[in-house]
Amino acid sequence: MSGLDAILSNPAYHDYLAILKGARNGFVYGVKVRFPHALIMAILFGRGDWNTRLKTIYRATKQHALNLAKFVSLYKTLLLVQKKMNGGKERSFDTFIAGLIGGYVVFGERTAVNEQIVLYVCSRVVASFLARAKTPYSKTTHAPGRPLPPDATQFSIFAALCWGAVMWLFNERGETIQPGMFNSMTYLYRDSERWNNLKTLLWHNT
């Protein structure tokens, strides 16, 4: 075994290397998620020539990837610091503190990309308060931390309230809706009200 392999497999260095691996995974995941999204948005709603649109795609992808890399590495670093301060023991609220600080430092600046990420996370946090459905594996083979689907009745009510609220907001208080969602809703609900001929009815918008 080489010296490098010995370091990589040494448990003493695991927590430190996990920070590096976390940054790597955050960057890769950010690219995978943001690039196709930015590309589609540029095709559907982009303005200017393609040189301008490509620069927008690059900036959004870069910011998403770097911010995820920063957050994961900072989060893991803060967990490690707290663990060492507590004599090598992990506490349940360590994750909240690390996430709180990391979220403020990395995602606290209001940008279009950060806003989308924070709203995505917020929606998942809110949805987590729905009761979980009873499934065959929930009492037997359910592993700790394995996601369970929400209760069907509560989810139906939750979905109805979400869609009712967002459609009212779009019509009455559009300025409060996140820009990306506003553009999507405009394309779906308002652009579909206008056409001049068969081509603009079925092929593209006016």
**Assigned domain for 136 exists:** no
Q: For residue 152, what are the β-bridge partners?
A: none
Tell me, yes or no, whether 124 and 174 share the same domain: no
Tell me, yes or no, whether 29 and 90 share the same domain: yes
**Assigned domain for 135 exists:** no
Tell me, yes or no, whether 99 and 37 share the same domain: yes
Least confident residue range of 30-34, 117-121, 190-194: 190-194
Read off the pLDDT band of 40 (50, 70, 90). very high
59 vs 127, residue with greater confidence: 59
Tell me, yes or no, whether 111 and 172 share the same domain: no
Average pLDDT estimate for 56-79? 95
Tell me, yes or no, whether 58 and 108 share the same domain: yes
Least confident residue range of 33-47, 83-97, 156-170: 156-170
**Assigned domain for 139 exists:** no
Determine the straight-line distance between the first and last CA of the chain, rounded to whole angstroms.
66
**Assigned domain for 143 exists:** no
The mean pLDDT value of the chain amounts to 87
Tell me, yes or no, whether 122 and 155 share the same domain: no
Residues 6+ apart with CB under 8 A from 79: 90, 94, 95, 98
Q: Is the pTM of this model over 0.95?
A: no
Tell me, yes or no, whether 78 and 106 share the same domain: yes
Least confident residue range of 49-58, 108-117, 142-151, 185-194: 142-151
Tell me, yes or no, whether 78 and 159 share the same domain: no
Tell me, yes or no, whether 44 and 86 share the same domain: yes
**Assigned domain for 137 exists:** no
What CA–CA distance (Å, rounded) separates 79 from 86? Answer: 11
**Residue-wise pLDDT tens digits, 92-135:** 889 999 999 999 999 999 898 999 999 999 998 988 888 888 76
**Assigned domain for 141 exists:** no
Q: What is the pLDDT of residue 92?
A: 86
Domain that residue 170 falls in: 148-205
Q: What is the pLDDT of residue 33?
A: 94
**Residue-wise pLDDT tens digits, 132-181:** 887 665 555 555 667 888 888 888 888 888 888 888 888 898 988 888 78
CA distances from 194 to 137, 174, 199 (A): 50, 19, 12
Among 104, 42, 109, 49, residue whose Cα is nearest residue 74: 104
Tell me, yes or no, whether 31 and 61 share the same domain: yes
Tell me, yes or no, whether 32 and 73 share the same domain: yes
Number of structural domains in the chain: 2
Planar angle of CA 180, 184, 189, nearest 5 degrees: 145
